[in-house]
Structure 1
Amino acid sequence: MASAPQQPQLPLFFNDLMPLNSKDHKNYSTRSIDSAPWLAKAHAIPLTVDEFVQAQRHYPIVFSTGDNPLPLALMGLNEGVNTFVDDEGKVSEPVYIPAYIRRYPFMLAKLQQDATDLSLMFDPTSGAVGEFDEGERLFDDEGNKTNAVDRILEFCQHFEQSAQRTQAFLTELKDAGLLMDGEVAIQREGEEKPFIYRGFKMVDQEKLRDISAEKLAEWHKNGLLMLIHAHVYSLELMRVVFARQAQQGKAPQPAAAN
């Protein structure tokens, strides 16, 4: 999921990307922020396979469309609707927070398209990194990175490793022809027509039943089958999230379902 820091193709949430270095950022600190306005309007969050088991308890897990699909945790069913945070981006209840969110405002990315190494980058507009009196220093007085940078690097490295495992999982699904265009119809009481949601991919359960016993045994052994089941079970939460939207006064008009 690491991508070259080239605008306008910045990753979700990032307004800018800057390489962290001791020369320009010697006096910078990182601090916690109690709200995330950038999250309030985000309904689909990238997810790694390492998170499926935890995330499927709270969110529907679907796959994006296109040639290179990615797993997504749906925090809302409609564009601009996040049912798990308030308008300021504060989490409204105990819930699993995807690593993609927890990683921000940092990420590993290539400084140049042909580079082989990934560098630690950050979003200078986040409000979480800068010359603050509070927080943790990123470099000491001699310009050496601190424990804070080591922890950030470790988290970002684990995220990249998880992203690689996610790509391997998706390659298996695509090679087996298991991904299909998804569609969910939700009938709301008092409405004449159901809300139809499309624009995502899901596992074709009929094709899954046709997978050979040998392949299923292999997937069971390497944990892939558990990930597929976590995705399939999580789809039941589509209606739960839709109900959350209605409860919060964010239910779509009949023609607004995606």
Structure 2
Amino acid sequence: MASAPQASLPILYNDLVPLNSNEHTALRVRPTDTAPFLKNQHAIPLTIDEFVAAQRFVPIIFSSGDDSVPLALMGLNEGINTFLDDEGKLRGPAYIPAYVRRHPWMLAKLRSDSDEMSLCFDPTSDTVGEFEEGDLLIVDGKASEVTQNILKFCEDFEQAAQRTGMFMQELKSLDLLMDGEVAIQVPGKEQPFVYRGFQMVNEEKLRDMRGDQLRKINQSGMLPLIHAHLFSLQLMREIFQQQVDQGKMPEIAVPEPVA
């Protein structure tokens, strides 16, 4: 059986196996209301298609480095997700990124010399297996309707990821990104909690853009996405307070990377 490349698995994935119509006829997928694989993950990749919906619930930042990607912050400190309890259940209203909703599935290249992508899954997931309940993935040697829907979702995600990559390239070409920093003072603490290690849009450069550049990003649809990102940053203090309320804060206020 062919296996997917394992050299650098994306976050949340422990393994990847391509779905095979001959070998996986007994596999079923079942629903779940918990996401234990997510409860210790504080930053999740986000596509630009999700910015408007996500900005109401989570801060949207950009990772550091040249190949920056948008991230939804579900916590400010490594290993802390304020939206999930210890069992991996949602504590309340939240936006769950498509990256998470796609799990344990994804499209992956099986061969480095080919652009063809195959539907793969993480076999360590507790939602896919040879269960008595759930929906079969292969029926009469072909992909079931459930599998076709999963494939469509993964294809849509890949297209959104490509649009996101183009958005990031344009932000970089316009030199709109800058290193971000947020300092939050806590009563009773002498030093504020300082968070760095992420990027954000430079509002001053955005205001000073030439008219033709501003018109271009407005017509392309980038401007509302940039505003959604900037508005969402106000939520960083709310996420911080949730960590405090949940007793998930470090004892000492030292600079922390958030991405």
TM-score (norm 1): 0.96
SS in 2 for 1:235: helix
Task: Give the corresponding residue for 2:65.
Answer: 66
Which aligned pairs between 1:18-37 and structure 2 lie closer than 5 A? 18-37=17-36
Query: Structure 2: 5+ residue runs without aligned partners?
Result: none
Give 1:222 shift: 1.8
Match of 2:129 in 1: 130
For 1:199, what is the secondary structure of its paired residue? strand
RMSD: 1.2
Identity percentage of aligned residues: 56
Matched, 1:115 2:114: yes
Does residue 247 (structure 1) correspond to residue 236 (structure 2)? The answer is: no
More deviation, 48-57/8-17:
8-17
The number of aligned residues is 254
Deviation (angstroms), 1:7:
2.8
Letter of the aligned partner of 1:158 in structure 2? D
Which residue pairs with 1:52 in the alignment? 51
Once the two structures are superposed, what CA deviation does each residue of 1:135-154 show, in whole Å capped at 9, x if it has no partner?
A: 111111x2111100110011
Residue by residue over 1:114-139, the C-alpha shift from the partner in whole angstroms, topping out at 9 and shown as x without a partner, is: 22111100000001111111111111
SS of the equivalent of 2:224 reads helix
Deviation of 1:205 (Å): 1.0
Q: What's the CA shift for 1:257?
A: 3.0
**4+ residue runs over 6 A deviation:** none
Map residues 89-238 of structure 1 onto 2, 5 A cutoff: 89-140=88-139, 142-238=140-236
Structure number having the greater strand percentage: 2
More divergent stretch after superposition (112-121 vs 95-104): 112-121
CA contact (8 A) 2:5 2:110 kept: no
Once the 2 structures are TM-superposed, how far is the Cα of residue 34 of structure 1 from its aligned partner? 2.3
The whole-number CA distance in structure 2 between the counterparts of 1:66 and 1:6 is 24
TM-fit CA distance, 1:8: 4.3
Which 5+ residue runs of structure 1 have no aligned equivalent?
none
TM-score, L = length of structure 2: 0.95
* C-alpha contact 2:14 2:122 (8 A) present in aligned 1: yes
Task: Quote how far apart the aligned CAs of 1:9 are.
Answer: 1.2
